[in-house]
Amino acid sequence: MISHRDSNAQRIAALDERAEALKLKRGMGIADARAMHPSIDVVEADAEADRRLLEGLADWCDRYTPLVAIDGEDGLFLDITGCTHLFGGERAMQDEILTRFFQQGFDVRAGLASTPGAAWAAARFHGDRIIAGGEEEALLAPLPLSALRIAPETRASLESVGLRTAGAVMAAPRAPLARRFGATLLLRLDQALGRLDEAVSPRLPVAPLSVERHLAEPVMLTDDIERLVSRLAIALKADLERRGEGARALALLLFRVDGAVSRIAVGTSRPMREPQLIRKLFHERLAALEQNIDAGFGFDLVRLSVLSVAAFDMLQGDLAGEATDDDADIALFADRIRARLGEAAVLKPVVVESHLPERAVTTVPFAEAPQRRMPASDRAMPPMTIYPPERPVRLFRSPEPIEVPATEIPEGPPMNFRWRRALYRVARAEGPERIAAEWWRQLPGEEEAPTRDYYRIEDSEGRRYWLYRQGLYSSAAQAAPRWFMHGVFA
């Protein structure tokens, strides 16, 4: 027997058949139950563990339909529209589900109907029944009000006026019911009877493309799984080619014989549909997760799904028949590294619209970086007449302060400077390049950031630096200017 706390009292949350035979019921206080039967075993409910178990069962039900939704704390909705013929019909499919759950040690009740409301009532109040279309009203009529999935307060109000069954509610005039008990009551009733559609919202997004293989003999070895991935990828390639698309994210689902499900996902930086390339990505991912994947007694169902797609640009080959995309090898290399080490393993610098050098570039995951586009061949490119200012090879993440003893003129470059306890004598200097603060980033009431004057400096030994003066000597309102080292050229 399982207990939970309700209104500062421990009450029965669930009980088995032996406890029910002792006249114990859900909602009864634990103190009363122990007074009746002192030898009963009581276990505290673990809501988080129950939720994980229900999610695991929902993952396992993906083998029957991708449209699986969680209903409350102890139920699942499966939309099996268009799936029953794969398992020999509705009755055969329901029997297989119940048998497999029983073999895993679960006591499950199932109902099958043309509406979610009728299927919910059939499972909760009949246990194992298939309701044909048009028989929903006959099913619901003798059942209590709880079969309509209405709030306890509404149910209590209906019972107080003598409406104790769903049939009594269906026979009552609709307008008074809506005025007194709200529109939700009639909504639930119409949904159960099929007068209004009720969609089942799946807990996971439905993949646009999926292929799977049922195995007569379960597989356990990683090499066998990779071979299956290649065969499934070949089947996916034909569908992707017909749609003119490539996969950007794929998921490999491994259904274990005892009900556990392993879900392995990989992403691609550009659309992909070649089976050998897909196998290479999953090879890296499986190698990284080899210690975490428990094959148990083996996997009897393997499914490869495309989670997201993108338009696939065909590449013109050269005279040898080879593609001329120079970035393809780099993209594949990055994808394999990311599959083994994670999304943050490969980053790519991306230009940001900002005047300040430390904000002008940021790093993003390789797959999220914008792809390089080649200009159209028939579009004439104008000649480059504006040369961007030279930037250092290495830009420090944070500018480092330096000491400048003197300058030739107040607004000119330094004659020498001290950086990291070493003194450097300036041989040549170029500048200044003035960069002002971005006024649109300044908050109301915030002090304006000082102006920067950047100089390209070469010391007496030929080393080149990029340093700046923050502030102006002529500004009496601000503190004395400070000097910073921002990068090195070589």
Render pLDDT for 451-487 as a digit per residue (tens, 0 to 9). Answer: 899 999 999 999 999 999 998 776 555 678 899 999 9
Pairing label, strands 110-112, 128-130: parallel
On whether the CB atoms of residues 78 and 67 are closer than 8 A, the answer is yes
Answer positive or negative: Cα dihedral of 402, 408, 411, 413. negative
Alpha carbons 242 and 386: distance in angstroms, whole number: 46
- Express each pLDDT in 371-410 by its tens digit: 665 554 445 555 655 666 788 888 898 899 999 986 767 7
Q: Which of 96, 112, 113 is nearest to 104 (CA)?
A: 96
pLDDT value at 323 more than 60? no
The answer to whether 282 touches 265, Cβ cutoff 8 Å, is no
- Partner residues linked to 83 by β-bridges: none
pLDDT tens digits, one per residue of 428-456:
999 899 998 887 777 777 777 788 999 99
Strand partners, 247: 272, 309
Tokens 């090499």 found at: 223
108-145 core/surface letters (b: 16 or more CB in 10 A; e: else): bebbbbebbbbbbbbbbbeeebbbeeeebeebbeebeb
Q: What is the mean pLDDT of the chain?
A: 87
Q: 150: burial class by Cβ within 10 Å (0-12, 13-18, 19+)?
A: buried
End-to-end CA distance of the chain: 74
Nearest to 143 by CA among 92, 195, 201, 189: 189
Q: Write out pLDDT tens, residues 262-302.
A: 999 999 988 999 999 999 999 999 999 887 888 888 999 99
124-176 confidence digits (pLDDT tens): 998 788 999 889 999 999 999 999 999 999 999 999 999 999 999 999 999 99
**Residue 412: Cβ within 10 Å count:** 14
